[in-house]
Amino acid sequence: MSLNQISKVYATALLELAQEANSLESTEEELSSLVDVFFSDESIRHYFLSPLVDPSEKERTAEKSVQGKASEIVANFITLVVRKNRFLFLQDILEDYRSGVDRLKNRSSLRIVSKESLGKETIDRITKSISSKFGREVRVTEQTDPTLIGGFKIFIDDFLIDASIRAKLAGIEEALLQKKIPVGAFE
């Protein structure tokens, strides 16, 4: 089984359980906060990924750490993931789970990447425009990329809208190369 399929299998199983329990959104929130805790602290991450720690000890630790802090579905799921030695895939499982929830809710995932934060008003305008264009609700995440010269990139489902300065410059370069302006034409 490929690495990509592993996260999809686990995410699908959790999605089915959460759908039966009518807790899609709350399961996502709980899983997201636990994944943040597990992966934000380097010592916790290393503990669960270490081949030197006994697997049954990892399972007991995971069970104790989520007990009372998460629903039964999420607590059992985390314990299962640790038991099956799939801890490394938790972040990918969360992303696949989110995609599944979005599909079920007829919602699209919108990621806006810009050099600097665009501000709430601009994000709201972009969100409204994309939402009406695609005819569905969108879940927005904003990300900054200091390597961008300016402008922004929008990723929605399988689409990319590249409104970055770099893309515009590349377009101008391509147009100029297509025209094949003779050397010395600007002298």
pLDDT tens per residue across span 157-178 = 778 888 888 888 888 888 877 8
Predicted pLDDT at 1: 58
Q: Which residues of 141-158 are buried (b: 16+ CB within 10 A; e: fewer)?
A: ebeeeeebeeebbbbbee
Counting residues of the chain whose pLDDT is more than 90, the rounded percentage is 29
Predicted pLDDT at 182: 62
Given a cut of 90, is residue 4 above it in pLDDT?
no
- Tallying the residues shown for the chain, one arrives at 187
Predicted pLDDT at 104: 87
Closest by Cα among 138, 141, 73 to 152: 141
Alpha helices in 21-164 (DSSP H): 24-40, 42-49, 55-66, 72-83, 90-104, 120-134
Domain topology for 3-103 = Peroxidase; domain 1 (1.10.520)
Q: What is the CA radius of gyration of the chain?
A: 22
Q: Per the confidence metrics, is the pTM higher than 0.85? A: no
Q: Rounded mean pLDDT of 172-187?
A: 69
Strand order from edge to edge, sheet including 159-164: 137-144, 107-114, 151-156, 159-164
Counting residues of the chain whose pLDDT is more than 70, the rounded percentage is 94
Domain ranges within the chain, ordered by starting residue: 3-103, 107-178
Per residue in 64-105, pLDDT tens? 988 888 889 999 999 999 999 999 999 999 989 988 888 888
Predicted pLDDT at 3: 64
Structurally, at CATH architecture level, domain 107-178 sits in: 3-Layer(aba) Sandwich (3.40)
Given a cut of 80, is residue 153 above it in pLDDT?
yes
